[in-house]
Amino acid sequence: MQIFTYFFCKKNYKNLLLLISLAILSPALPAQVDNSALVLPPEVQAGKEKNLYFRLMNLNFMRNNEYFTPIVQGQTFFGYQLAPTLIYLPTPHIEVEAGVFLRHDFGRQDFAQIQPIFSFRYKKNKTSITFGNLHSSLSHGLIEPLYSFERVLTHYLENGFQIKHKSRVWDIDAWVDWQQVAYPRGNQQEHIWAGANINLRIAPCPKGEIKTDTSFCSGLSVSLQGTTFHQGGQDLNLPTPLPATNSFQVATGLRYATSKWLAEAYYVRTTREIYADSLTTVRAGNGLYAQVGKKWGKKNDLQTVVSYWQGYGVDNVLGGDLYKSFPTYTAGKVQMSRRLVMLRLSKVWTLAENIMLTARLEPYYDFVSQRLEQVQMLFITFRPTFRVAGK
């Protein structure tokens, strides 16, 4: 429990006081930044059977990471995603979607990614089941130490199986994402990512206040988030030997929300097992992640969030790079203790129906490296859905 020992050592009282001060100075400061403009819209409403719909998902993105740390290097993501699909409802509770996903990174002549889209969804009452392309990425609602925000730009599609349940008391999302297949005598390992985000509301949602996939109604919730990642396989013919990896991540905490503000705190535990040359390396880490934030304005289109991370020995394959203790590039250095405080500023403009412009600035201070760095982001999303045939 190095994380708690660190906080309550006499010489580190100032760090605990800093976290408390942030919470006091931000009494109305929604914790995780609202990502609803960057995720899939809800399913077509039940009862629209025998109709054919066209949906376009277009994300135009620019993210510039000004990083100079021993853990992660700076990088710029600049390009667009385009996903035209057709959706058909053969019955009131079944939705079939098919199309294509395109990603283009500016500076290259071809597409960085071209993949088919196919989803079969069954939804009845408060539960939905998806087979094929999942409600993916940021839609899972994971905290950043468990899931990197950048994956919405680089690995948006997920394929596999998903079950979701949303009621006045429970909000559950569980999935298996089969990222890479390994065939017998093949030249690549299998990559499998699975997880669950389970939220139990202490006080049920008021009737009519169950909202979109990424929002929470007012009140206190207990949250349990967990993911696991496997990389390996048997009977492979790899051109270069690669280690097998299993990793497990769990975060548990409390979340309190109103229409204007939200506060949350999580204890995070990570374990990564690396198998290479008959040797097993185990990296176990833990951390504390806390946020307080506020939405401003009549439309809640301006948001400020203060985040704090205190971690030790964390090595999560799909988690945010800033929260790790192990470097993500060859010339990096291990930094077992990580202490960061972040200020997140976000502004959303509705340019027209289904068209949104989002600007973000996220400076952060690294206590160990004693560096003040920042991230700038700009997104334009266009997400129309309309009926093209049927009654």
Going from the N-terminus, what domains does the chain have, and what CATH number goes with each? Answer: 2-389 (2.40.160)
CB within 8 A of 183, min separation 6: which ones?
A: none
pLDDT recorded at residue 207 = 61
| pLDDT digit string, tens, across residues 23-74 | 333 333 334 677 877 777 666 665 577 889 999 999 999 999 999 888 888 9
pLDDT recorded at residue 337 = 94
Q: How far apart are CA 286 and CA 351, in angstroms?
A: 42
pLDDT recorded at residue 290 = 96
Q: How far apart are CA 244 and CA 199, in angstroms?
A: 32
Q: Are 235 and 256 in contact (CB under 8 A)?
A: no
DSSP assignment of 115-151: EEEEEEEEEETTEEEEEEE-S-GGGG---TTTS-TTH
> Pick from 270, 351, 265: which is nearest to 307 by CA?
265
| pLDDT digit string, tens, across residues 334-376 | 899 999 999 999 999 999 988 999 999 999 999 998 999 999 9
Residue 133 buriedness (CB in 10 A; 0-12 / 13-18 / 19+): buried
Q: Read off the pTM.
A: 0.87
Residue type, 222: V
Q: Three-state secondary structure along 63-90?
A: EEEEEECCCCEEEEEEEEEEEEEEEEEE
| pLDDT digit string, tens, across residues 144-165 | 999 999 999 999 999 999 999 9
pLDDT recorded at residue 220 = 87
> Pick from 322, 315, 210, 332: which is nearest to 271 by CA?
315
Buried b (16+ CB within 10 A) or exposed e, 344-354: bebebeeeeee
pLDDT recorded at residue 262 = 83
Q: Are 99 and 117 in contact (CB under 8 A)?
A: yes
Q: How far apart are CA 313 and CA 292, in angstroms?
A: 25
CB atoms within 10 A of CB 8: 9
pLDDT recorded at residue 235 = 80
Average pLDDT, 10 consecutive residues per value, the chain (391 residues): 42 44 38 71 66 93 92 93 94 93 95 96 92 93 95 94 92 95 88 96 65 56 95 83 90 88 92 86 94 87 93 93 89 89 94 93 93 95 88 70
H/E stretch holding 18: helix 13-25
Q: How far apart are CA 300 and CA 84, in angstroms?
A: 29
Structure-token pair, residue 313: 């020995």
Give ∠ CA 269-275-278 in degrees, rounded to 5: 140
At residue 2, what are phi and psi to the nearest 5 degrees? -60, -30
pLDDT recorded at residue 7 = 41
pLDDT recorded at residue 31 = 43
Q: Report CA-CA distances (Å) from 40 to 35, 59, 91, 114, 185.
A: 10, 11, 22, 18, 37
